[in-house]
Amino acid sequence: PGPGGSPATHLHARHRAVMPEWLSLYYREPLELTHGEGRHVWDAHGRRYLDFFGGILTTMTAHALPEVTKAVSEQAGRILHTSTLYLDRHMVELAERIAALSGIPDARVFFTTSGTEANDAALLLATSHRGSNQILAMRNSYHGRSFSAVGITGNSAWSPTSLSPLQTLYVHGGVRTSGPYAHLSDAAFTAACVADLEDMLGQTHGRVAALIAEPVQGVGGFTSPPDGLYAAFREVLAARGILWITDEVQTGWGRTGDHFWGWQAHAEHGPPDLLTFAKGIGNGMSIGGVVARAEVMNCLDANSISTFGGSPVTMAAGLANLTHLLEHDLQGNARRVGGLLIERLRAVAAGFPVVREVRGRGLMIGIELVEHDGSPSPEAASLALELAREEGLLIGKGGREANVLRIAPPLSLTITEAEEGAAALETVLQQVQFTIAGKERP
Ligand code: PMP
């Protein structure tokens, strides 16, 4: 151990001394992960954890997936140039596969290094194509942290500045847990949100460029609008030539089980005009990207807008990962295992009033925690995170009030692992319930 205690404690002190204060870390004693395999990761003390969160962060299929490791090391040993000025076989093939999967007719693909940059590129395209910097975004949304991405992020905890190069109007429909429409039925909620959108557009000067929306709000706490809500929006937008950008950074690649992309739950009026992706496609390598109809993608009068986007190593990783995902039907696995997990968690939660709701789709499951009076309990969520770690389980948290536990394991999660995780969460919720009820922990 170093001077500050264990190696991880010492590293934490060094992190605090040199990195920005706003770079938050999970856990009172932050975790240093050293390696992973399948659905498990190990910390610097050699402790093993079942990873119920890495899937949403970057590990889409499995930790240390052999095909990805092989592709990365082979490519790194061959050529590491990072310029879009030269042809790259993996890039073209990955773009072809993504274009075909996207559902967007005559699709073009442009690679970036992150989700933020993908959304930036989508905004650049949409605003240029429409000649307008007016954007519609959803309340409680999260789209990244560049200057323009925070300007379309409705969740104020993640939007550190109110200055923005865009004029953003926030629309109802993303979050159903609070606000005036919270208690409406699906049909009434959809009708209210559509009426609100039409009313807003009726009062807006000039052209609106696009609406950007997450099919399931990720950082916002895994809340989904009723199926078909965005389709209803789409009809209103399309009639006015307003583009629809679907942010699939968390919902893409089959995570929601029933669909390959989140937008497909809202598909009646056709595919979106633009789709952004990132995170898991590289299984840890930084890949983001935007897909758009050729007419929209080609509206820029410019040379390439990235150096690192689509570098050969990340493209080789993405291709190996996507191939694995499709060949092993991990979307089907997300549907089956996610379906069982959500059922099991609902049964567990029924015994604990601290749980307001267990919601989700596929392997994207949120557990919302509340106080006795039904108000959001960020304290319960923080406690649950710590206790889960003690149980050997990594989970995430989110929601506007930071009171939602987020579960998003790698898509290869097995039924046995789902059962193990659910059992650990039962223990966690039991202890959280005791604490919230003002009793001692057992
Ligand atoms: N969009 C959504 C829906 C996200 O969840 C995130 C990341 N949490 C982003 C965009 C930004 O992606 P990145 O962190 O790769 O920039």
Tell which one of 277, 279, 364 to mutate to probe ligand 1, the residue whose CB is within 8 A of the most ligand atoms.
279
Residue 278 Cβ < 6 Å to ligand 1: yes
Q: Is 217 in the pocket of ligand 1 (CB under 6 A)?
A: no
Q: Is the CB of 277 under 6 A from ligand 1?
A: no
Distance, CA 45 to ligand 1 centroid (Å)? 30
Residue 75 exposure: Cα atoms within 13 Å on the Cβ side: 24
Do residues 253 and 289 touch, judged by C-beta distance below 8 A? no
Nearest to 313 by CA among 290, 285, 289: 285
Amino acid letter for position 93:
E
Element (H, E) at 88: none
Evaluate: CB of 53 within 6 angstroms of ligand 1: no
Q: How far is the CA of 51 from the centre of ligand 1 (A)?
A: 19
What CATH superfamily classification does 31-61+329-436 receive?
Aspartate Aminotransferase, domain 1 (3.90.1150.10)
Residue type, position 35, single letter: H
Q: How far is the CA of 72 from the centre of ligand 1 (A)?
A: 23
Residues 422, 109: Cα–Cα separation, whole Å: 39
Q: Quick one: which atom of ligand 1 is closest to the CA of 278?
A: 15
Q: How far is CA 173 from CA 119, 162, 185, 230, 265, in A?
A: 20, 22, 13, 9, 15
**67-327: same fold as 31-61+329-436?**
no
Atom of ligand 1 nearest to the CA of 144: 11
CA torsion angle 221 264 58 62 (round to 10): 110
Instruction: Spell out the residues 6+ positions from residue 20 whose beta carbon is closer than 8 angstroms to its own.
Output: none
Where in the chain are the domains? 31-61+329-436, 67-327
The answer to whether 268 touches 233, Cβ cutoff 8 Å, is no
Beta carbons within 8 Å of 302's beta carbon, 6+ residues apart? none
Q: How close is the Cα of 145 to the center of ligand 1, in Å?
A: 8
Determine if residue 370 is left, alpha or beta; phi over 0 gives left, psi from -120 to 50 gives alpha, anything else beta. beta
CA of 49 to the centre of ligand 1 (A): 24
Measure the CA–CA gap between 211 and 138, rounded to whole angstroms.
Answer: 8
Residues 237, 211 contacting (CB under 8 angstroms): yes
The tens place of each residue's pLDDT in the chain, 442 residues long, gives 444 467 777 899 999 999 998 888 999 999 999 999 999 999 999 999 999 998 666 779 999 999 999 999 999 999 887 788 889 999 999 999 999 999 999 999 999 999 999 999 999 999 999 999 999 999 999 999 899 999 999 887 777 777 888 999 999 988 777 778 888 999 999 999 999 999 999 988 889 999 999 999 999 999 999 998 999 999 999 999 999 999 999 999 999 999 999 999 998 889 999 999 999 899 999 999 999 999 999 999 877 778 888 999 999 999 999 999 999 999 999 999 999 999 999 999 999 999 999 999 999 999 999 999 999 999 999 999 999 999 999 999 999 899 999 999 999 999 999 999 999 999 999 999 999 888 544 5
Ligand 1 neighbour 120 (Cβ under 6 A): no
Ligand 1: residue of 111, 116, 159 to mutate (most ligand atoms within 8 A of CB) is 116
Is there an atom of ligand 1 within 6 Å of 243 CB? no
- ipTM for the whole complex: 0.99
**Helix (H), strand (E) at residue 77:** helix 66-78
CATH topology of domain 67-327: Aspartate Aminotransferase; domain 2 (3.40.640)
